[in-house]
Amino acid sequence: AFTNGFTKHTKQECLDIAIVGGGLVGSLAALHMAKKGHKVSLYEYREDIRTAELVIGRSINLALSVRGRKALKEVGLEDKLLEHGIAMYARMIHNTDGTRNAIPYDRRNHQAIYSVGRKYLNEVLLTAAEKYPNINLNFNKKMVGGKVDKGEVTFIDTTNEEKKNIFADLIIGCDGAFSSVRREMLKRNGFNYSQTYIEHGYLELCIPPAADGGFQMPENYLHIWPRGKFMMIALPNQDRTWTVTLFMPFENFDSIKSSEELLKFFEIYFPDAIPLIGKERLVKDFFKIPAQHLIAVKCRPYHISSKCVLIGDAGHAVVPFYGQGMNAGFEDCSILTELFNKYGSDLEKILTEFSETRWIDAHAVCDLAMYNYIEMRDLVNKKSFLMRKALDDF
């Protein structure tokens, strides 16, 4: 699968690229850079996800949409992911009286978003990366510092505490919302950064398969229980389960202290979900781990010198309500590839243009994601005059 991607550039060197973080964006970035013919070393803090237990606390499945699909297609993986994914053509709204109504995403062309498993997606990307002779995967390597403007990173091997410095022509920081690469950039002049924790958290529950092994709800939908100040959503999984996510202000989570209070809360707001989840499982899963925080991150520029750049959540973490965090991170990989096509291996030009152009969309997605929480939990069920007119026009 090793192809030399150099075509018509003036400056064409095989670069040594170090990728920090082997999550969704890091493993896809490795594929994009290797496809361009560069030598890629990926360093991931955790053990290899393909042999690890499921990590509790991160979303189990995600909605893959057109931005993410394009970036996967560019490394030949779109079809594989779509085969695994479950198409969701509409939102299915659950009302408190037990009725449901569907709101299609695209009445005209019937386009869908796809529910894909986070672990499966990460595994597919890492397995594809392993097939490239110019990608070297390193697990249990935690970045602990470095002079990123000079292309230097310090890692600790978490299995034996050994410290090692590596040097690269380019460091790509893909180490998520709490990025260590970004922390180093923060120490330099001219780097702007802001983070916002919202006052709402999330907690994951599960709807098991039906007794006959099928889905308990119609599967080609993103199910939503909008309740004004809070909401619950459910996305389908390949094993016929549903990952259910409850988004709510922390004060509401904190007010539910016993199984009686929890069941009472569900009887008022989500009565149809109780038999789907099952009382026992609901209580067990709700109290298993505390509600998780949600953070949004904006920064600018995304690069420092011609040696280091941030992509994915490391550069622009967004709240999950627009289903675009991973998709936007995948799009970063497409954009970097386009810039490598345009400028060969002239990193100064590549990184400068990435920083100057990418922030506009990244900041917009961040703001739209904040807004879409209000849309999903409240407005989705309210027909404005314009919405009603638009629907009537179809």
Binding site for ligand FAD (CB under 6 A): 20-26, 43-46, 59, 62-63, 142-143, 174-176, 180, 202, 245, 312-314, 320, 323-327, 329
Smallest gap from Cβ 317 to ligand FAD, in A, equals 7
Smaller CB separation from ligand FAD, 134 or 372:
372
CA distance 196 to 176: 15
Smallest gap from Cβ 44 to ligand FAD, in A, equals 5
Smallest gap from Cβ 239 to ligand FAD, in A, equals 18
3-state helix, strand, coil in the chain (%, to 5): 40, 25, 35
Smallest gap from Cβ 22 to ligand FAD, in A, equals 6
Smaller CB separation from ligand FAD, 329 or 344:
329
- Residue 335 contacts residue 354 (beta carbons within 8 Å): yes
Smallest gap from Cβ 18 to ligand FAD, in A, equals 11
Q: Which amino acid is at 222?
A: L
Smaller CB separation from ligand FAD, 28 or 256:
28
Query: How far separated are the first and last CA of the chain, in Å rounded?
Result: 46
Smaller CB separation from ligand FAD, 31 or 343:
31
- In DSSP notation, 279-306 reads HHHHHHHHTTSPPBP-EEEEEE-SEETT
Smaller CB separation from ligand FAD, 22 or 344:
22
Smallest gap from Cβ 97 to ligand FAD, in A, equals 28
CA distance 350 to 142: 27
CA distance 334 to 68: 9
Q: Which residue is nearest to ligand FAD (CB)?
A: 23
Smaller CB separation from ligand FAD, 344 or 366:
366
Burial class of residue 145 (count of CB atoms within 10 Å of its CB; 0-12, 13-18, 19+): middle
Smaller CB separation from ligand FAD, 44 or 346:
44
CA distance 203 to 266: 14
Smallest gap from Cβ 243 to ligand FAD, in A, equals 9
Smaller CB separation from ligand FAD, 327 or 355:
327
CA 63-65-66 angle, 5° bins? 170
Least Cα distance to 64 among 53, 50, 75, 80 occurs for: 80
Torsion angle of alpha carbons 346, 348, 350, 352, nearest 10°? -160
Smallest gap from Cβ 368 to ligand FAD, in A, equals 13
- Residue 296 contacts residue 366 (beta carbons within 8 Å): yes
